[in-house]
Amino acid sequence: CKSPGMSKEQMMEIRKQNCMTMKITYYKKPVFIHQGYMQWLWDVDGKRYLDLFAGVATVSVGHCHPKVTAATQRQLKKLWHTTNIYIHPELHEYCDKLASYLPDPLKVIYLTNSGSEANELAMLMARLHTGNFDIITFRGSYHGGSQQTMGLTAKSSCKFPIATSSGCIHTMCPDVFRGPWGGSYCRDSPVQTIRECSCAQANKHYIEQLEETFATSAPSQIAAFFGEPIQGMGGAVQYPKNYLKEAYKLVRQTGGICIADEVQTGFGRTGSHFWGFQGHDVIPDMVTMAKGIGNGFPVGAVVTTPEIAVSFVKASHFNTFGGNPLACAVASSVLDTIREDSTQQNSLHVGTYLMTQMAKLRDKYEVIGDVRGKGLQIGMEMVKDKGSREPLPPEAMSEILEDVKDTGVLIGKGGVHGQTFRIQPPMCITREDVDFFLAVFNKAISGYTDRK
């Protein structure tokens, strides 16, 4: 379906002059998106794309999913907005429903409008509850773009030269592919395709790094440890087995609390579990979420324990839009849809199939260094060659990305050096979609290899 709207030239001009100064797009020839349905997007010329990036892991059940659209339309006719000084059923029904998806004692919910807002609130709560100030995150992580959360974020391309939140300390990311430990040990792991590094030696070294990080803070001053169960923007980085379990134990011993940023990994994306932290066999003290919670509608949340929540009532916390009826109706219908459409199970099956097939391409091409992830949170780390593991340069990454896009598939990019392709699609994709992507990716890589 063709767009009757503005010309591409007009849009590009407005983008330069008036539109959030967003000059950057992923592509040399930008994509002008006009319409979406489930795993598909159409541009203004009517060209169809298989969307394997879902607006950065945001569209969870599918673009314009009919059930979510219907629920939104019902609520639009009833009540758009009222603040939470009044009691409205949508908020309470939703909190009750969301709480049922979380293990005890994670039962107290605060709704926000974005992931940055959720993480900023979590920082505040952790500091108030513990009376401590320092917060530890991983190098390479992204936790938001507000001034406070920019302090948590440890990715130079997302930071500005200003004073962000002080007291944010960045520990070494336990990255078994690019980090100093893991690597070839982990290649010997019996699990080759969906590789969860079980190398105890590598884990020990990374845990020692965390302990050294504690020593950079004043004694017992740790308020929180923030970590994504699988890094998103960092490039689908997975930690060695037991890392989070041991890290949580150590953080708690110092008096800090543990926070799982589930903005990308939550709502069934990792397939085996509803929440990414469940794959690490830990229960955080606080969970932050956004993106998939609203299938593209701006919603975020912090979930914590009653004990921590008590520390937060010293002053009044107010959020005009957080938990408004429309957002709650959308988010509630997303939860129902995940269950009714078995999207978590689909993530597991289709994601496992994709990774297994991708591992064959990894073995075929020198430039695919690593394939990793869980469910539909997948990364392919690109290298100059497997021996050096030097990151594939940005121009080469762009060339491949452009080719994949021109053949009709949208994928993402991430990693400290921008060296990892990311696949985080709407969770409704099928095996046929995967086969199509594999053919497209194979052609793009073989084309690049031939031209080199």
Binding site for ligand PMP (CB under 6 A): 56, 114-116, 119, 142-144, 228, 232-233, 261, 263-264, 290
Give the integer Cα–Cα distance in Å for 37 and 68. Answer: 12
CB 174 to ligand PMP: min, Å: 17
Give the integer Cα–Cα distance in Å for 431 and 425. Answer: 13
CB 261 to ligand PMP: min, Å: 5
User: CB of 98 within 8 A of CB of 335?
Assistant: yes
Which residue, 292 or 369, is less far from ligand PMP as judged by CB? 292
Which residue, 240 or 414, is less far from ligand PMP as judged by CB? 414
CB 286 to ligand PMP: min, Å: 13
CB 372 to ligand PMP: min, Å: 17
User: CB of 51 within 8 A of CB of 411?
Assistant: no
Which residue, 233 or 335, is less far from ligand PMP as judged by CB? 233
Which residue, 102 or 233, is less far from ligand PMP as judged by CB? 233
Indicate the residue whose CB is closest to ligand PMP: 115
Phi, psi (rounded to 5 degrees) for 384: -65, -45
Which residue, 293 or 434, is less far from ligand PMP as judged by CB? 293
Q: Kindly list the distances between the CA atom of residue 441 and the CA atoms of 56, 235, 276, 405, in Å, as whole numbers in the listed order.
A: 19, 18, 27, 10
Query: In the sheet that 300-304 helps form, which strands lie side by side, from edge to edge?
Result: 108-112, 300-304, 286-289, 257-261, 222-227, 134-138, 168-171
Sign for the CA dihedral angle at 156, 293, 316, 102 comes to negative
For tokens 């349905």, the residue is 37
Burial of 340 (0-12, 13-18, 19+ CB in 10 A): exposed
CB 112 to ligand PMP: min, Å: 9
CB 271 to ligand PMP: min, Å: 18
CB 143 to ligand PMP: min, Å: 5
Burial of 75 (0-12, 13-18, 19+ CB in 10 A): buried
CB 354 to ligand PMP: min, Å: 21
Give the integer Cα–Cα distance in Å for 358 and 5. Answer: 39
Supply 412's token pair.
Answer: 């993402």
Burial of 419 (0-12, 13-18, 19+ CB in 10 A): buried
Give the integer Cα–Cα distance in Å for 334 and 269. Answer: 13
Give the integer Cα–Cα distance in Å for 180 and 381. Answer: 16
CB 24 to ligand PMP: min, Å: 15
User: CB of 376 within 8 A of CB of 424?
Assistant: yes
Check whether the bond before 105 is cis (ω within 30° of 0): yes
CB 113 to ligand PMP: min, Å: 8
Give the integer Cα–Cα distance in Å for 302 and 204. Answer: 31
Which residue, 263 or 286, is less far from ligand PMP as judged by CB? 263
Which residue, 261 or 285, is less far from ligand PMP as judged by CB? 261
CB 396 to ligand PMP: min, Å: 24
Give the integer Cα–Cα distance in Å for 131 and 401. Answer: 46
Which residue, 149 or 419, is less far from ligand PMP as judged by CB? 149
Which residue, 36 or 144, is less far from ligand PMP as judged by CB? 144
Which residue, 149 or 254, is less far from ligand PMP as judged by CB? 149
